[in-house]
Homo-oligomer: A and B are copies of this chain.
């Protein structure tokens, strides 16, 4: 049958979206729920198309969406896989701390605590939690050449990241997003980041080991999963010296 005149669906999450978008959402939901792992391929395009009762091209387009979003990965003669995000990167990809001369990434990361804690209103709102609900809170510091460069507070969806509470602290860092994937099955696909310059008050100055009044970079980030749920909110304070931020604009 040609055109949008539906045939025999039944399982679409959505209603008046184009089929390929409904399919995209359906696949996204399944991925967010851990329906497929990182090592085995999804069913082939052909199988998925038949399973959903759509043409191959339509299924391909749905998959293409998720590939563009960095959620899926195609390997030519092999199959389509859930992507192990090098997104873990964003920071490591975009942030660099210049060690005197050369440009080197972070060296050490230390997680000071992981516990349940009630966030304040703005954080609570960003995570879409009830105002009195608890979240998971992580306190973390980053060093380079033994020098403390970044302090971070990280707030997480309480239900999705419960496994972190019972892990030894050393195992939580240093690659948070990797830990999210491996131990909690949560995949971050998108984030919003904002960067400001401020000066260190006494407390921050002490914890970053700089003079009070020194410039400090504050980065706030909200990270989302495939389905658009805010998984994490974090705020990082970084020493402004040795700091560089790179980005590509399209």
A binding-site residues for B, Cβ under 8 Å: 69-70, 87, 90, 94, 189-197, 199, 215, 217, 240-241, 243-250
User: Is B197 a contact of A243 with CB atoms below 8 Å?
Assistant: yes
Give bound CA distance, A246 to B219, whole Å: 10
User: Is A70 a contact of B241 with CB atoms below 8 Å?
Assistant: no
User: Is A193 a contact of B240 with CB atoms below 8 Å?
Assistant: no
What is the predominant secondary structure among interface residues of chain A facing chain B? strand
Give bound CA distance, A94 to B197, whole Å: 15
**Which one of B193, B217, B244 lies within 8 Å of A249 (CB-CB)?**
B193
**Which one of B69, B191, B196 lies within 8 Å of A244 (CB-CB)?**
B196
Residues from chain B with a CB closer than 8 A to the CB of A94 are 249
**Which one of B215, B245, B249 lies within 8 Å of A215 (CB-CB)?**
B215
Minimal beta-carbon separation of A233 from chain B (angstroms)? 14
Give bound CA distance, A120 to B190, whole Å: 38
Give bound CA distance, A149 to B94, whole Å: 25
Residues from chain B with a CB closer than 8 A to the CB of A194 are 244-247
Q: Tell whether A244 pairs with B190 under 8 Å between CB atoms, given A69-B250, A90-B249.
A: no
Residues from chain B with a CB closer than 8 A to the CB of A240 are 197, 215
**Which one of B192, B199, B246, B248 lies within 8 Å of A190 (CB-CB)?**
B248
Q: Name A90's closest neighbour in chain B (CB-CB).
A: B249
